[in-house]
Protein backbone atom coordinates (compact mmCIF):
# COMPACT_ATOMS: atom_id res chain seq x y z
CA UNK A 1 0.00 0.00 0.00
CA UNK A 2 1.27 3.44 -0.94
CA UNK A 3 1.30 5.76 2.07
CA UNK A 4 0.21 9.40 1.98
CA UNK A 5 2.52 11.79 3.83
CA UNK A 6 1.18 15.33 4.18
CA UNK A 7 3.71 18.13 3.88
CA UNK A 8 2.62 20.84 6.33
CA UNK A 9 5.05 23.58 5.27
CA UNK A 10 2.19 25.70 3.88
CA UNK A 11 0.48 25.65 7.28
CA UNK A 12 3.64 27.12 8.81
CA UNK A 13 3.83 29.72 6.01
CA UNK A 14 0.32 30.89 6.87
CA UNK A 15 1.14 31.03 10.58
CA UNK A 16 4.34 32.97 10.02
CA UNK A 17 2.55 35.57 7.88
CA UNK A 18 0.91 37.03 11.01
CA UNK A 19 3.10 35.82 13.83
CA UNK A 20 1.54 34.09 16.80
CA UNK A 21 0.42 30.49 16.55
CA UNK A 22 -2.58 30.49 14.21
CA UNK A 23 -2.91 28.07 12.57
CA UNK A 24 -1.26 25.77 15.09
CA UNK A 25 1.20 23.62 13.16
CA UNK A 26 1.22 20.80 15.70
CA UNK A 27 -2.57 20.65 15.90
CA UNK A 28 -2.89 20.56 12.11
CA UNK A 29 -0.36 17.72 11.97
CA UNK A 30 -2.37 15.77 14.55
CA UNK A 31 -5.57 16.47 12.63
CA UNK A 32 -3.95 15.22 9.41
CA UNK A 33 -3.16 11.97 11.21
CA UNK A 34 -6.68 11.78 12.63
CA UNK A 35 -8.13 12.26 9.15
CA UNK A 36 -6.06 9.41 7.74
CA UNK A 37 -2.62 10.72 6.75
CA UNK A 38 -0.02 7.99 7.20
CA UNK A 39 2.86 10.40 7.63
CA UNK A 40 3.86 14.01 8.16
CA UNK A 41 6.58 15.73 6.13
CA UNK A 42 8.38 18.97 6.98
CA UNK A 43 11.18 20.86 5.25
CA UNK A 44 12.97 23.18 7.67
CA UNK A 45 15.04 25.76 5.78
CA UNK A 46 17.89 27.81 7.24
CA UNK A 47 15.82 31.03 7.19
CA UNK A 48 12.86 29.24 8.87
CA UNK A 49 10.45 30.95 6.48
CA UNK A 50 7.91 28.21 7.02
CA UNK A 51 8.75 25.24 9.28
CA UNK A 52 11.03 26.30 12.13
CA UNK A 53 13.60 24.07 13.78
CA UNK A 54 11.53 24.40 16.96
CA UNK A 55 8.51 22.98 15.10
CA UNK A 56 10.50 19.87 14.31
CA UNK A 57 11.25 19.36 18.00
CA UNK A 58 7.60 20.04 18.93
CA UNK A 59 6.28 17.55 16.37
CA UNK A 60 8.54 14.61 17.15
CA UNK A 61 7.01 13.52 20.50
CA UNK A 62 3.38 13.92 19.46
CA UNK A 63 3.23 12.28 16.03
CA UNK A 64 1.87 8.74 15.87
CA UNK A 65 2.56 8.10 12.19
CA UNK A 66 5.74 8.34 10.15
CA UNK A 67 7.80 11.51 10.44
CA UNK A 68 9.77 12.58 7.36
CA UNK A 69 12.20 15.52 7.47
CA UNK A 70 13.48 16.75 4.13
CA UNK A 71 16.19 19.25 3.36
CA UNK A 72 19.70 19.97 2.18
CA UNK A 73 22.27 18.15 4.35
CA UNK A 74 24.05 21.17 5.76
CA UNK A 75 25.80 20.76 9.14
CA UNK A 76 22.87 22.36 11.00
CA UNK A 77 20.35 20.15 9.20
CA UNK A 78 22.35 17.00 9.88
CA UNK A 79 22.65 17.89 13.56
CA UNK A 80 18.89 18.53 13.82
CA UNK A 81 17.87 15.32 12.08
CA UNK A 82 20.28 13.12 14.04
CA UNK A 83 19.04 14.63 17.29
CA UNK A 84 15.33 14.31 16.46
CA UNK A 85 15.67 10.86 14.83
CA UNK A 86 12.65 10.84 12.49
CA UNK A 87 11.64 7.67 10.68
CA UNK A 88 12.96 9.06 7.40
CA UNK A 89 15.18 11.85 6.10
CA UNK A 90 14.84 12.95 2.48
CA UNK A 91 17.94 14.59 1.05
CA UNK A 92 17.31 17.40 -1.45
CA UNK A 93 19.96 19.36 -3.35
CA UNK A 94 18.34 22.79 -3.32
CA UNK A 95 20.19 25.85 -1.96
CA UNK A 96 18.78 27.83 0.98
CA UNK A 97 17.28 30.57 -1.20
CA UNK A 98 15.24 28.21 -3.39
CA UNK A 99 11.47 28.76 -3.21
CA UNK A 100 10.86 25.03 -3.43
CA UNK A 101 12.80 21.95 -4.47
CA UNK A 102 13.23 22.15 -8.23
CA UNK A 103 15.66 19.41 -9.21
CA UNK A 104 17.07 16.09 -8.16
CA UNK A 105 20.61 15.21 -7.13
CA UNK A 106 23.37 14.61 -9.61
CA UNK A 107 24.22 11.39 -7.82
CA UNK A 108 27.17 10.63 -10.10
CA UNK A 109 28.94 13.87 -9.26
CA UNK A 110 27.95 13.78 -5.58
CA UNK A 111 28.33 10.05 -4.92
CA UNK A 112 31.08 10.28 -2.29
CA UNK A 113 29.28 13.09 -0.45
CA UNK A 114 25.98 11.21 -0.49
CA UNK A 115 27.59 7.96 0.62
CA UNK A 116 28.96 9.67 3.71
CA UNK A 117 25.66 11.38 4.56
CA UNK A 118 23.57 8.25 3.97
CA UNK A 119 25.83 6.17 6.18
CA UNK A 120 25.81 8.83 8.89
CA UNK A 121 22.00 8.90 9.11
CA UNK A 122 21.62 5.13 8.84
CA UNK A 123 24.09 4.69 11.71
CA UNK A 124 21.50 6.20 14.07
CA UNK A 125 18.57 4.23 12.63
CA UNK A 126 17.12 6.77 10.20
CA UNK A 127 15.86 5.58 6.81
CA UNK A 128 17.27 7.68 3.96
CA UNK A 129 15.62 8.77 0.72
CA UNK A 130 17.43 10.72 -2.01
CA UNK A 131 15.54 13.17 -4.22
CA UNK A 132 16.25 12.33 -7.88
CA UNK A 133 15.03 12.92 -11.42
CA UNK A 134 14.33 10.13 -13.91
CA UNK A 135 17.84 10.03 -15.37
CA UNK A 136 18.65 6.34 -15.01
CA UNK A 137 22.27 7.07 -14.16
CA UNK A 138 21.09 9.08 -11.16
CA UNK A 139 18.95 6.14 -10.02
CA UNK A 140 21.87 3.75 -10.48
CA UNK A 141 24.31 5.91 -8.51
CA UNK A 142 21.71 6.62 -5.82
CA UNK A 143 21.67 2.87 -5.22
CA UNK A 144 25.48 2.90 -5.04
CA UNK A 145 25.26 5.46 -2.23
CA UNK A 146 23.55 2.88 -0.03
CA UNK A 147 20.30 4.82 0.24
CA UNK A 148 17.18 2.99 1.32
CA UNK A 149 14.89 4.82 -1.11
CA UNK A 150 14.75 7.44 -3.83
CA UNK A 151 12.06 10.08 -4.15
CA UNK A 152 11.15 10.79 -7.76
CA UNK A 153 10.87 14.52 -8.50
CA UNK A 154 7.45 14.54 -10.17
CA UNK A 155 7.12 18.16 -11.31
CA UNK A 156 7.86 17.26 -14.97
CA UNK A 157 5.18 14.57 -14.81
CA UNK A 158 2.63 17.00 -13.38
CA UNK A 159 3.51 19.71 -15.90
CA UNK A 160 3.19 17.41 -18.92
CA UNK A 161 0.28 15.31 -17.66
CA UNK A 162 -2.48 17.50 -19.21
CA UNK A 163 -0.76 17.39 -22.61
CA UNK A 164 0.00 13.67 -22.89
CA UNK A 165 -0.25 11.60 -19.74
CA UNK A 166 1.26 8.45 -21.29
CA UNK A 167 4.33 10.33 -22.46
CA UNK A 168 4.55 12.23 -19.18
CA UNK A 169 4.61 9.12 -17.02
CA UNK A 170 6.85 6.93 -19.22
CA UNK A 171 10.25 8.05 -17.83
CA UNK A 172 8.95 7.74 -14.27
CA UNK A 173 7.85 4.17 -14.88
CA UNK A 174 11.29 3.31 -16.27
CA UNK A 175 13.03 4.98 -13.33
CA UNK A 176 10.77 3.18 -10.85
CA UNK A 177 11.41 -0.16 -12.54
CA UNK A 178 15.15 0.34 -12.27
CA UNK A 179 14.92 1.36 -8.61
CA UNK A 180 12.87 -1.75 -7.89
CA UNK A 181 15.39 -3.91 -9.75
CA UNK A 182 18.22 -2.37 -7.73
CA UNK A 183 16.40 -3.15 -4.50
CA UNK A 184 15.64 0.36 -3.28
CA UNK A 185 12.26 1.76 -2.27
CA UNK A 186 10.45 4.45 -4.21
CA UNK A 187 8.76 7.61 -2.99
CA UNK A 188 7.34 10.42 -5.12
CA UNK A 189 6.64 14.08 -4.58
CA UNK A 190 6.21 17.55 -6.04
CA UNK A 191 3.12 18.94 -7.78
CA UNK A 192 1.11 15.76 -7.30
CA UNK A 193 -2.60 16.53 -7.08
CA UNK A 194 -6.09 15.07 -7.31
CA UNK A 195 -5.79 15.51 -11.07
CA UNK A 196 -2.74 13.33 -11.64
CA UNK A 197 -2.09 11.20 -8.56
CA UNK A 198 -4.34 8.24 -9.40
CA UNK A 199 -2.78 7.80 -12.83
CA UNK A 200 0.77 7.89 -11.44
CA UNK A 201 -0.18 5.30 -8.85
CA UNK A 202 -1.86 3.10 -11.45
CA UNK A 203 1.30 3.12 -13.55
CA UNK A 204 3.66 2.67 -10.55
CA UNK A 205 1.59 0.74 -8.00
CA UNK A 206 4.70 -0.27 -6.01
CA UNK A 207 5.31 3.29 -4.79
CA UNK A 208 6.08 3.23 -1.08
CA UNK A 209 5.01 6.79 -0.30
CA UNK A 210 3.87 10.06 -1.83
CA UNK A 211 4.58 13.36 -0.08
CA UNK A 212 2.09 16.09 -0.96
CA UNK A 213 1.73 19.58 0.46
CA UNK A 214 0.90 22.55 -1.75
CA UNK A 215 -1.96 21.06 -3.77
CA UNK A 216 -3.43 19.22 -0.80
CA UNK A 217 -3.51 22.29 1.44
CA UNK A 218 -4.94 24.37 -1.42
CA UNK A 219 -7.69 21.79 -1.96
CA UNK A 220 -8.42 21.82 1.77
CA UNK A 221 -9.44 25.50 1.51
CA UNK A 222 -12.39 24.37 -0.59
CA UNK A 223 -13.17 20.85 0.61
CA UNK A 224 -11.92 20.86 4.20
CA UNK A 225 -8.88 19.02 5.48
CA UNK A 226 -10.71 15.83 6.45
CA UNK A 227 -12.43 15.30 3.08
CA UNK A 228 -9.32 16.35 1.17
CA UNK A 229 -7.08 13.79 2.86
CA UNK A 230 -9.69 11.10 2.27
CA UNK A 231 -9.87 12.11 -1.41
CA UNK A 232 -6.09 11.85 -1.82
CA UNK A 233 -6.01 8.48 -0.12
CA UNK A 234 -8.77 7.29 -2.45
CA UNK A 235 -6.49 8.05 -5.41
CA UNK A 236 -4.02 5.54 -3.94
CA UNK A 237 -6.47 2.66 -3.64
> Quick check: is 214 catalytic?
no
Q: How far apart are CA 124 and CA 23, in angstroms?
A: 33
Catalytic residue of the set 33, 50, 190, 209: 190
Number of neighbours of residue 19 by Cβ within 10 angstroms: 7
183: exposed, middle or buried (C-beta count within 10 Å: 0-12, 13-18, 19+)?
exposed
For the chain, the first-to-last Cα distance in angstroms comes to 8
- How far from 221 is each of 22, 63, 92, 225, CA to CA, in Å? 15, 23, 28, 8
Q: How far apart are CA 149 and CA 176, in angstroms?
A: 11
Give yes or no for a contact between 190 and 154, defined as CB atoms under 8 angstroms apart. Answer: yes
Q: Coil, strand, or helix at residue 98? A: coil
Q: Where are the alpha helices (DSSP H) in 63-144?
A: 75-84, 111-122, 136-144
Catalytic residue of the set 33, 43, 50, 151: 43
> Quick check: is 48 catalytic?
no
Catalytic residue of the set 33, 70, 151, 209: 70
> Quick check: is 43 catalytic?
yes
Give yes or no for a contact between 230 and 187, defined as CB atoms under 8 angstroms apart. Answer: no
- Please list the active-site residues: 43, 70, 190
Amino acid sequence: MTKLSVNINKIATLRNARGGNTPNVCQVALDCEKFGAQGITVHPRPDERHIRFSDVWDLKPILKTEFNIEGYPSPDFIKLVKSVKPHQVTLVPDPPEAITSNSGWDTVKNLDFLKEIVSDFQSVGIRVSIFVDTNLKNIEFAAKSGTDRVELFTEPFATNYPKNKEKAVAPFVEAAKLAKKLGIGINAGHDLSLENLAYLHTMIPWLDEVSIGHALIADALYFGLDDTIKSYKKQLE
